[in-house]
Chains A and B, each alone.
Chain A
Amino acid sequence: MVSERFPVTLTINGQKIVRDVEPRTLLVHFLRDDLNLTGTHVGCDTSQCGTCTILLNNQAVKSCTILTVQADGAEIVTVEGLEREHLHPVQQAFWEKHGLQCGFCTPGAMMLAAYLINQEGPLTEEAIRRQLDGLLCRCTGYENIVRAIKRAQEIIEEGDKERSQETAQSTWG
């Protein structure tokens, strides 16, 4: 039996975390069981469903497919870390567009969405459907997830416009 434990240091949702873990501990179990970050869910054993998706060094990663020790030194964002002062554009968009029903795949879907909208240029509907390949949702029929991701892109654009207007005003002010 593996009883030896290894030290890991991670930054999770902006907070530095130092722990000793069993080397076989999957990252998703570490998040859920050790850190009580239960927003990240486990939906399968085969890395198909994507409900456990998190951001690891800004990449969308399935946290059931990575050992905690492998993530040593990484910067991780989970669903609990999306929201700062306001709802994240992705959270806002999923809410507005009814991009969730039972909500179980939703944290993973939103983390994937957060990754996608950070890509260069807005994605077309077809591209979004293709990019959602790592996600299984049994409730929404995906239609509203696609709409939500498009809406999240809009919210960011609107925010950029507002920000650039604010900047322009202060320059002129």
Chain B
Amino acid sequence: MMKKEVIEMAQVIGQPLKRQEDIRLIRGQGQYTDDIKLPGMLYAYILRSPYAHAKILSIDTTVAKTMPGVVAIFTGNDLKDEVGLIPTAWIPPDSDLHVPPHPALAYDTVRYQGDGVAVIIAESPYQAQDAAFKISVQYKPLPVVTDPRDAVQDQAPLVHSEIAHNIAFHWRAGDNLDDIFSQADVVVKQQFRQQRLIPSAMEPRCAVADYHGATGELTLWATTQNPHIHRLLMSGILGISEHKLRVIAIDVGGAFGSKISCYPDEVIVSWASQKLHRPVKWTETRQENFLVTTHGRDHVEEVELAGTRDGHIQAVRVKVYANMGAYLSTAAPGVPTILFGLIINGAYKIAHASSEVFGVLTHTTPVDAYRGAGRPEATFLIERMVDLYALAIQMDPLDVRKKNLIRPDEFPFTNPFGLEYDSGNYQATLDKALQIFNYEEFRRDQENLRKQGKYIGVGFSTYVEMCGLGPSEVAGAVGFQGGLWESATVRVHPTGKVSVFTGASPHGQGEETTFAQIVAEELGIPIEDIEVIHGDTAQIAMGWGTYGSRTTAVGGAAIHMANQKVIEKARKIAAHKLEVNEDDVVFDKGVFMVKGLPARSIQFQQVALDAYLAWNLPPGIEPALEGTAFYNPKNFTYPFGVHIAVVSVDTDTGDITLMRYIAVDDVGKIINPMIVEGQVHGGLVQGIGQALWEGAEFDNQGQLITGSFLDYTVPKARFFPRFETAHTETPSPHNPLGVKGVGETGAIASTPAIVNAVMDALRPFNIFDLPMPLTPHKVWNAIRQAQLSS
């Protein structure tokens, strides 16, 4: 057993240390996948369907094959019998889920604009593209459906002929609430559209595959959030044993969920490299990124809330048509079900809740996780409903929140779906936010400005989310086809320097530093002596990657456990050297000391050297010093907080100006406050983007009409005021570090805060709901309609 001891904080955890990974990144020495260049490397260009739904009649590659530099051209027919289908790895139980076959290249029918039909492999990327333009494909266009409500109708064209009504799955949770709703004082009904978003990581996806015929080994550099999951899935698709497959993702230029999936493109280059015995690279263009990298959200939600006249929420229920796109992407079915449907009561003590979700196939780009994945949709739903309910009973929305928030003495709190919220003090974050924001003063100003014809509004979002995804038993129970534990090895070198190997695969969030801080603190060594290694399946035996804000809560906890193993062994060696009983040795700030005799001590680094020299180790102790741990968390963690947005609406133009944004988050124990704040900022901009500017649109032929940064508004710096952020710290009891997770909070909380604020500003016009994004045109139109009808 590990000894319990109090290690005095060496003040590394909790410090805003500059990030270690930045040194290479600010020098332009990052190693992104597209930076990889191998001798003899070939370049792939994937020819994609211009139609959203069509039969492929013929593909003529005769001319293209003669083009300069062209090495090979493959079509779907070449691949279909040699590589497996692209898998779906989340099968929610009791959902009657049908996985439609997803070939790496379409060979019969294309099902969304961007579906690949051929790959051209040439000596240079320009040559591959030249040849692609010379391929002639004959299509027979077929009827298209893009809206999930249209797609379930009897006469709708089928995306996959074997899946009736295009319903890939039908999932329910919670009880029948008909009686409660029929007897309630107040019932509020609303339909929401969670519009489709395009993650738009700044780095387009890329894959470089290098097959060695002599060893049968395939190395794949890829833009992925989870190299080991990729290895597992790719080994099945390609039929290569895992130990012969190496997946590497060192620097990844943003992902936000869009780099979780296993994509056809990675499969194509891997197979091509096997075929051609040369390295093959494929780099996505931004246009392809818009078309084929997974999108996020896209729900039509019919929501009902039941409550009393005095502000007690009794029940909430939702029926969702979730647009899954043309195929079920890797984690997609889990998003609108497990990650959304089980937390629609939000931060409130609501006795009854139920969710019903139809996963619907349409002729659009497949969706998958996007920052927050399911929880932003759930938070939006309940936070907007709270405001609409407050309006219905003529109560202040803040008072409704105060009345229904789960109280600090009610934790651990079991929500109506059985999720157990770990710890929380929701009132404390609200109090802190209201210290920053003077609500009474705002309402006075609002009243005065209205008299002058100026419209400002405030919106609240009191949220809770689940993250720190694990434990593995729960993963299994909810149909995730993988584990959610995490691995760590802390390898101490003879000089006392340390390499940390983590199975989590950070991609910009700063965990090289966060993890180094945990090791520096616990082993009492300089942070400069620690290197964190991730994103390479050859160096790390197993791991489950970074998504769902799990990295520090699960991966960090694994490192903590590995540290304890190192200390345990080092203490034995130190005790032997100090010639005392192991129990008489204390470890503090990197020094092993004899209890009560601080002068008799030995440095951690000396113990490390002794462990390697092995000249004089205690009996039964093996040489070397390292610890490996596999941490399977007890449960999810539940960050929470309060966000307040203040906006003004220009009624002449419909323009919305963000005046203030206050975010008070509780993400459990904070290891690096600078990194935590940065994560909040990034999330805010994406969540506010959804409320005000972002939205993917397809026309009725399934053409993506927001297919570039010219048509799809990714927010810019000038759209924002300075963010006002603050924190409370309620440790999670679920992991030894007390951390919860921060990566998604901003994106989860901010969207409803903004929409609530705009609706508050527009109340004098009797405008109570508008679909996102709240573009000037939409807002202006609504105001004009209101003015005309009054």
* Residue ranges of A at the interface with B (Cβ–Cβ < 8 Å): 1, 3, 22, 24-25, 29, 32-33, 36-46, 48-49, 51, 78-80, 83, 87, 91, 94-96, 98, 100-107, 110, 125, 128-130, 132-133, 135-146
Contacts and interface: CB of A to CB of B under 8 A. Distances in A.
17 contacts: A38-B32, A41-B32, A48-B708, A94-B22, A95-B26, A100-B22, A102-B508, A129-B718, A129-B720, A136-B714, A137-B202, A138-B202, A138-B686, A140-B682, A143-B681, A143-B723, A144-B681
Contacts of A141: 678, 680-685, 720, 723, 746
Contacts of A138: 199-202, 254, 256, 682, 685-686, 714
B29 A41 contact: no
Which of A49, A98, A129 is packed against the most chain B CB atoms within 10 Å? A98
Given A42-B283, A43-B286, 4 more contacts: A39-B28, A41-B32, A103-B25, A141-B720
Interface string B14-48: 00001101110111111010110100000000000
B277 interface: no
Which range contains the number of B residues in contact with the other chain? Answer: 35 or more
A146 B720 CA distance: 11
A46 to B, nearest CB: 5
Contacts of A142: 681, 685, 716-717, 720
Among B285, B509, B716, which residue has the most Cβ atoms of chain A within 10 A? B716
B684 A91 contact: no
Given A132-B718, A138-B202, A38 B25 contact: no
A58 B261 CA distance: 42
A42 B34 contact: yes
A44 B708 contact: yes
B507 interface: yes
A94 B24 CA distance: 12
Contact of B28 (A38, A42, A44): A38
Given A1-B67, A40-B28, A78-B28, A45 B285 contact: yes
Interface of B: 18-19, 21-23, 25-30, 32, 34-35, 37, 67-68, 125-126, 130, 199-204, 251-256, 283, 285-287, 507-510, 674-675, 677-686, 708-710, 714, 716-718, 720, 722-723, 746
Given A94-B26, A98-B678, A138-B714, A41 B67 contact: no
Contacts of A22: 126
Nearest to A44: B286
Contacts of A145: 717
A140 B202 contact: no
Contacts of A44: 286, 708-709
Contacts, number: 182
Contacts of A144: 678, 681
Contacts of A49: 202, 286, 709
Given A36-B37, A132-B717, A138-B686, A101 B509 contact: yes
Given A98-B19, A110-B26, A135-B717, A104 B675 contact: no
B30 A103 contact: yes
Contact of A130 (B130, B283, B674, B718): B718
A78 to B, nearest CB: 7
Nearest to B23: A95
A160 B580 CA distance: 59
A139 B507 CA distance: 11
B32 A104 contact: yes
B18 to A, nearest CB: 6
Contacts of A48: 708-710
Given A105-B202, A133-B718, A41 B253 contact: yes
Nearest to A95: B22
B720 A143 contact: yes
B202 A43 contact: yes
A100 B674 CA distance: 12
Contacts of B201: 102, 104, 138
A105 B37 CA distance: 20
B286 A102 contact: no
B26 A102 contact: no
Contacts of A45: 285-287, 708
Nearest to B686: A138
Nearest to B718: A129
Contacts of B708: 44-46, 48
A38 B35 contact: yes
Given A138-B201, A141-B684, A91 B26 contact: yes
A162 to B, nearest CB: 22
A46 B289 CA distance: 13
Contact of B26 (A37, A38, A100, A146): A100
Contact of B252 (A95, A102, A105, A110): A102
Contacts of A136: 200, 202, 709, 714, 716
Contacts of B27: 39, 79-80, 83, 91
Given A39-B28, A48-B709, A139-B682, A103 B251 contact: yes
A107 B354 CA distance: 48
Given A46-B710, A141-B685, A1 B130 contact: yes
A104 B253 contact: yes
A44 B253 CA distance: 13
Contacts of B253: 41, 102-105
Contacts of B30: 39, 103-104
Please indicate which of the listed interface residues B32, B68, B718 has the most CB atoms of chain A within 10 Å of its own CB: B718
B508 A101 contact: yes
A145 B283 CA distance: 27
Contacts of A146: 717
A106 B28 CA distance: 8
